[in-house]
Chains A and B, each alone.
Chain A
C-alpha cells in the first residue's frame, strides 16, 4: 500500500470541520476547520477572546457547537472517552480541603484507572516531583507551585493519548514550567498527541509541529511553523549594537528599536550585503551581531494583531 494511502487512513486525534459557535447574537467562531495527527504537538494560538478556549470546550463537548463537527479520535467526545484525554483547563483548581493523594486518586479513577493503579501512579508521580511527604496534606496547605504540580499530575496520571493543555504555563514558576516541558516531551516520545494553547511563542517554536493561529474566530494561519513563516514573507535583519543606529530611508527602515537591538526591513532592490556594508562603515556604530532571519512566530503574531488594530481604527 502506498505511503500516502496509509497516512490518509489514520484517524486524526482531533478533527474539527466547519465549526461555528454563536453566543446570543455574536458569532465567536466562524467556519473553523483543522485536524491534529496522532503523535503531533499542535499549537492553538490567538489573542485573548480569539476563541481558543471556546474551541477546546466545544471539542470536549462542554459546549454545544452552533455548527460543524468536532471529533476526538473519530468520535464526538463524551466522558466515556475520559481515559484517552488529559485536559488541563485554563480555569483550573482542585478540591482545596481534600488530601493530595485522595484527590489525585479520585480524578485518576474518574479517568478509568483502578483504585490500586491510581494509588501506585499517584505515589510515583509525587515522588518524582518531590511531594511524596505531602500525600496526606490538604491541598489548601500546599504552596501555589506545589498545587500546580498536583494539577498537572491529575492531567497526566492516566497516561492519556491526547493531552489538551489550555495555557499550561500560565502562572507557572520556572521550575514547574520546566517540569511541564519535560512531561510534554516524555508524552510526545511515547506517542501521545498534544494540543497546546499558549501565548508563549518561544514554547510553541520549541514544541509544536504545527499551529493554528486564530483571529476573530477564524483561522488566520494554519500549518507547520516553517509553512507559516514562509507565508509571512519578508525576512528581517536583527542587529545587536552599541553606539547610535541612524535610519537611512533609501536603504532600510527600522521596524523595532531597543537601546542595543533593532530589527530592520529593506527595500526589494537593496541587498543585505549593502546594508551590512553601510552599517559597518558607520563610525558612530559598533555592530556586535548581524543576522538575516525569517520572522519569529512572535513577529507574525504581533503583525497579525497589529494589523487588526490598524484595521479597527
Chain B
C-alpha cells in the first residue's frame, strides 16, 4: 500500500511539473471558450442579420403576394412596395419570367399547408430572408388582429408557432432545388473533414515512428529527406483514400441496390445532382490543398517530438483548427463577408474548412476563392518545406523534444 501511494505521488507530481501537462490542460478550456464565444456571437449575429435582411429585402427586391387567409392588411402592402398578384399561377409566372424576385402565396388553411414562397435562386444565404419576410408579413397582421380581439383558431395557432414554408426557387426561368446545389461542393467539405479525422493518427506517427524505432539515420543516408517526406505525405493520402473508399463502397452498393427507395432530403434525385463546375473545382482544390497543408504541418511538428504519445498531446490542439470554422456556420450563411468569416477564410489553418463551407453554400466569390486557394497552397508548400527540414534535423534527436528554433539554426 505504501508503495502504491509512492507510485501515485511520483506519477502525479511528475506530470504536474511538466509544461506539456499544463499546456494541454489549459489549451482545451481556452479553446472551448473561444469556440463557444464564436458560436454565440455567430448565432446572435446570424439571427440579427437575418432579421435585418428580411426587413430590408422589401426595399431591394420586387415582391408580390396573394393572401387567401384574409389575415394580411392589403392596404399596408403598398407602403412596403409589395404587389398583389391576381392568382397563384400569375405570381409563379412573374417569378419565372423574372418580373419579380419573390412571390408569397398564403393559402386559406395556412397553418396546415404553410406558406408557398417562390423566388429567384440567390443561394442559401439570400433565400432564407424571403422566408423570414413571408412569415413576418403574416404575423405582423396576425398580432394586430389578435390585439383587436379577433381571435380565430388559425390566429391562435399562428401566434403559437410559425407556419411551415414551402420554397420553390427558379434559375433562368427553370425550377431548381437550391439545396441540391449544396451536395456536390458539400461532399468535398465532408471529404476533407473525414480525411483529417481518418489520417490524423498517420500524420502524427509517420515521423515519430522513425524516431521511436531509431531508423532515421539509416533512412536519411539512403533517401533524400524531401523524397522521404513527400513519399510519406502521398502515402497518407493513399491510405486515407482507401479508408474513405472502404467507408463509401457499402453506401454506394446500398444506393445501387435500393436506388428506387432512396431519396435525398428535399426530394433530390441522385441522378439529378446539380454540378457547378466552379464550385466543384474549388472544392477539389481546397480539399487537396487543405490536406497537404495539415499533413505537412502535422508531419513536421511531430518530427520535433520524441514519441507519438508526446506529439499527440500537442498536435490534437493544432488539428482542432480544421473544425473551429464549423462554429461560424451561422455567420457563413447569414453574413459571408463578416470579419470573422474573412479572417477564417484567409488564415491558413482555418482557410480550407471555411472556404469549403462557403463554397458549399454558394457564398464564396471567384476572387475570394482564388485568394484563399493561393494562401492555402503557399501555406501547404511552406508546411512541406518545414516538414522536410524538421525531419532532416529533428529525426536524429532521439529521446528529446526540440524547438522550431533549433531546426532553423
Q: A57-B396, A62-B396 are in contact. Are A92 and B223 (CB under 8 A)?
A: no
* Chain B, Cβ-Cβ closest to A77: B221
Q: Is the CB of B398 within 8 A of A82?
A: no
The complex places the Cα of A77 from the Cα of B221 at a distance, in Å, of 9
Q: Which of B212-220, B308-316, B345-353 contacts A (4 or more CB under 8 A)?
A: B212-220
B224 within 8 A of A: yes
Q: 1/0 contact trace for A17-43 toward B, CB 8 Å?
A: 000000010000000000000000000
Q: Is the CB of B215 within 8 A of A95?
A: yes
Q: 1/0 contact trace for A89-115 toward B, CB 8 Å?
A: 101111110000000000100110000
A14 within 8 A of B: no
A92 contacts which of B214, B220, B409 (Cβ < 8 Å)? B214
Q: Is the CB of B223 within 8 A of A79?
A: yes
Q: A57-B396, A95-B209 are in contact. Are A62 and B220 (CB under 8 A)?
A: yes
Q: 1/0 contact trace for B201-212 toward A, CB 8 Å?
A: 000000001000
Q: Is the CB of B224 within 8 A of A89?
A: no
Q: Which residues of A contact B409 (CB under 8 A)?
A: 24
Q: A91-B398, A95-B209 are in contact. Are A62 and B221 (CB under 8 A)?
A: yes
Q: A57-B396, A62-B396 are in contact. Are A92 and B221 (CB under 8 A)?
A: no
Q: Is the CB of A94 within 8 A of B215?
A: yes
A298 within 8 A of B: no
- State the Cβ distance, A62 to closest chain B Cβ, in Å: 6
Q: Which residues of A contact B214 (CB under 8 A)?
A: 89, 91-93
B222 within 8 A of A: yes
The complex places the Cα of A111 from the Cα of B219 at a distance, in Å, of 10
A154 within 8 A of B: yes
Q: A57-B396, A91-B396, A91-B398 are in contact. Are A82 and B213 (CB under 8 A)?
A: no
Residue of B209, B213, B222 ringed by the most chain A CB atoms within 10 A: B222
Q: Which residues of B contact A82 (CB under 8 A)?
A: 221-223
A interface, by DSSP: helix, strand, loop or mixed? loop
Q: Which residues of B contact A57 (CB under 8 A)?
A: 217, 396
Q: Is the CB of A95 within 8 A of B222?
A: no
* Chain B, Cβ-Cβ closest to A103: B215
The complex places the Cα of A78 from the Cα of B213 at a distance, in Å, of 23
- State the Cβ distance, B290 to closest chain A Cβ, in Å: 30
* Chain A, Cβ-Cβ closest to B409: A24
Q: Which residues of B contact A96 (CB under 8 A)?
A: 213
Q: Which residues of B contact A24 (CB under 8 A)?
A: 409
Residue of B215, B221, B409 ringed by the most chain A CB atoms within 10 A: B221
- State the Cβ distance, A271 to closest chain B Cβ, in Å: 54
Q: Which residues of B contact A107 (CB under 8 A)?
A: 218, 222
Within 8 A of B (CB), among A61-78: 61-62, 77-78
Q: Is the CB of A110 within 8 A of B219?
A: yes
Total number of A-B contacts with CB less than 8 angstroms?
A: 50
Within 8 A of B (CB), among A109-143: 110-111
Q: Is the CB of A111 within 8 A of B213?
A: no
Q: Which residues of B contact A93 (CB under 8 A)?
A: 213-215
Q: A62-B396, A95-B209 are in contact. Are A110 and B222 (CB under 8 A)?
A: yes
- State the Cβ distance, B408 to closest chain A Cβ, in Å: 12
- State the Cβ distance, B282 to closest chain A Cβ, in Å: 38
Within 8 A of A (CB), among B364-409: 396, 398, 409
A196 within 8 A of B: no
Q: Which residues of B contact A94 (CB under 8 A)?
A: 213, 215
Q: Which residues of A contact B220 (CB under 8 A)?
A: 62, 79
A60 within 8 A of B: yes
Residue of A79, A94, A95 ringed by the most chain B CB atoms within 10 A: A79
The complex places the Cα of A62 from the Cα of B218 at a distance, in Å, of 10
Q: Which residues of B contact A78 (CB under 8 A)?
A: 224
The complex places the Cα of A2 from the Cα of B108 at a distance, in Å, of 116
- State the Cβ distance, A245 to closest chain B Cβ, in Å: 47
The complex places the Cα of A56 from the Cα of B213 at a distance, in Å, of 20
A85 within 8 A of B: yes
- State the Cβ distance, B79 to closest chain A Cβ, in Å: 77
Q: Which residues of B contact A60 (CB under 8 A)?
A: 221
The complex places the Cα of A60 from the Cα of B218 at a distance, in Å, of 10
Q: Which residues of B contact A87 (CB under 8 A)?
A: 217-218, 221
The complex places the Cα of A92 from the Cα of B217 at a distance, in Å, of 8
Q: Is the CB of A92 within 8 A of B218?
A: yes
Q: Is the CB of B218 within 8 A of A91?
A: no
Q: Is the CB of B217 within 8 A of A111?
A: no
Q: A57-B396, A78-B224, A79-B224 are in contact. Are A154 and B218 (CB under 8 A)?
A: yes
Q: Which residues of B contact A154 (CB under 8 A)?
A: 218
The complex places the Cα of A62 from the Cα of B215 at a distance, in Å, of 13
The complex places the Cα of A309 from the Cα of B209 at a distance, in Å, of 40
The complex places the Cα of A60 from the Cα of B392 at a distance, in Å, of 13
Q: Is the CB of B217 within 8 A of A62?
A: yes
* Chain B, Cβ-Cβ closest to A155: B218
- State the Cβ distance, A140 to closest chain B Cβ, in Å: 10
* Chain B, Cβ-Cβ closest to A92: B214
The complex places the Cα of A92 from the Cα of B220 at a distance, in Å, of 13
- State the Cβ distance, B151 to closest chain A Cβ, in Å: 75
B221 contacts which of A79, A91, A95 (Cβ < 8 Å)? A79
Q: Which residues of B contact A111 (CB under 8 A)?
A: 222
Q: Is the CB of B218 within 8 A of A89?
A: yes
Q: Which residues of A contact B215 (CB under 8 A)?
A: 92-95
The complex places the Cα of A24 from the Cα of B223 at a distance, in Å, of 28
Q: Is the CB of B213 within 8 A of A89?
A: no
The complex places the Cα of A41 from the Cα of B266 at a distance, in Å, of 79
- State the Cβ distance, A12 to closest chain B Cβ, in Å: 19
- State the Cβ distance, A313 to closest chain B Cβ, in Å: 31
- State the Cβ distance, A144 to closest chain B Cβ, in Å: 14
- State the Cβ distance, A84 to closest chain B Cβ, in Å: 11
* Chain A, Cβ-Cβ closest to B209: A95
Within 8 A of B (CB), among A39-58: 57
Q: Which residues of A contact B209 (CB under 8 A)?
A: 95
The complex places the Cα of A159 from the Cα of B224 at a distance, in Å, of 21
23 CB contacts below 8 A, A to B, read A24-B409, A57-B217, A62-B217, A62-B220, A62-B221, A62-B396, A79-B221, A79-B224, A82-B221, A82-B223, A87-B217, A87-B221, A89-B214, A89-B217, A89-B218, A92-B214, A92-B215, A92-B217, A95-B213, A96-B213, A107-B218, A111-B222, A154-B218
Task: Give the 3 A-B residue pairs with the shortest CB-CB distance, closest first.
Answer: A93-B214, A82-B222, A110-B222
- Supplied contacts A62-B217, A87-B217, A95-B209, 4 more A-B pairs, CB within 8 Å: A57-B217, A62-B221, A62-B396, A93-B213
Q: Which residues of A contact B (CB under 8 A)?
A: 24, 57, 60-62, 77-79, 82, 85, 87, 89, 91-96, 107, 110-111, 154
